[in-house]
Amino acid sequence: MGLLDGKVAFITGAGRGQGRSHAVRLAEEGASIIATDGCTDIDAVPYPLSDKEDLAETAELVRQAGGAVMTAKADVRRFAELKAAVAAGVKEFGHIDIVLANAGIAIMGVDTTEEQNEAGWDAVIDVNLKGVWNTVRACAPPMIERGQGGAMVLTSSTAGLKGLSSPGAFGNESYGAAKHGVVGLMRQFAVEFSTWGIRVNTVHPTVVDTMMVNNAAMEKWVATFPESTALTNLLPVVMLQPRDISEAILFLVSDQAKWITGVTLPVDAGFTVK
């Protein structure tokens, strides 16, 4: 018996990284997975994003974990694509119980132009904030109609709880603004959806070992601002692994957390209290 037997989870950004880890971990506990990803690069993002092959690999890993899975190419910036993915998922599995609004990007600029800064702002806000809003409003209607409650976890960041940028660094405000905005969305949705027994929480990772931080642009930023505290934790670990975040999310979406809603859960090795 798994913690999520009979449940269906809709996950964005499932092509790799944290999203892939969440899909596999929830499948290990019995959930069926609707794995979605934009599967396309974004001009303002200085590292490659997931592609169709990555998403297919996630699906295979879910199957190896014993889970049923379907995939859909859906850009969180495009509500119509998410709505179509939700409809396909409901047709395949009958319902949705769990929503993980996980898709996100980071742009740490060094020596960027005003035009690049503005393009980066627009991209980050569109994916990290509007994308979460789009995901929730695409998934909520079938959950409400079914009347069996459910759980949503919106991925924020330690940047959603405190300022992270280094002194003297500009152009990275979009990430903090978006991740703080996700907390606002969570609190609003937690109130709105309580009538239907749908719980909504946020998870706040510190640095996680994914492509978002393991790329040349991030390396340049760290080298330019070595005094930054944005990448240091209180506990003796440099980066968490994606599964560390998955374990926290598993708790939040399981019945073990059935009375927990409207909370911000740091998984941050003590970063936010140092």
pLDDT for 108 equals 79
pLDDT for 229 equals 56
Annotated catalytic, 47?
no
> Contact, 106 vs 159, CB < 8 A?
no
pLDDT for 58 equals 98
Predicted confidence band of residue 64 (pLDDT cuts 50, 70, 90): very high
Main-chain phi, psi angles of 105, to 5 degrees:
-135, 160
Q: For the chain, what's the residue count?
A: 274
Q: Measured between alpha carbons, how far apart are the two ends of the chain, in Å? A: 39
Which residue(s) pair with 37 in the sheet? Answer: 73
Main-chain phi, psi angles of 170, to 5 degrees:
-125, 165
pLDDT for 111 equals 65
Of 202, 212, 233, 217, nearest to 171 by C-alpha is 217
Tell me the HSE value of 193 on the side-chain side, using a 13 A CA sphere.
28
Q: Which of 10, 121, 133, 175 is catalytic?
A: 175
Which residue(s) pair with 203 in the sheet? Answer: 155, 265
Predicted confidence (pLDDT) at residue 16 exceeds the cutoff of 60: yes
User: Over the stretch 227-242, which tens digit does the pLDDT of each residue have?
Assistant: 665 568 999 999 999 9
| Strand (E) or helix (H) holding 247 | helix 242-253
Distance of alpha carbon 246 from alpha carbon 24, whole angstroms: 9
Helix/strand/coil for 154? strand
Helical segments of 46-146, H only: 52-64, 79-93, 114-124, 131-146
> Contact, 242 vs 207, CB < 8 A?
no
Residue 111 CB contacts under 8 Å (≥ 6 apart), including other chains: none
Q: pLDDT above 90 covers what percent of the chain?
A: 83
Q: Which domains does the chain have, with CATH numbers?
A: 8-273 (3.40.50.720)
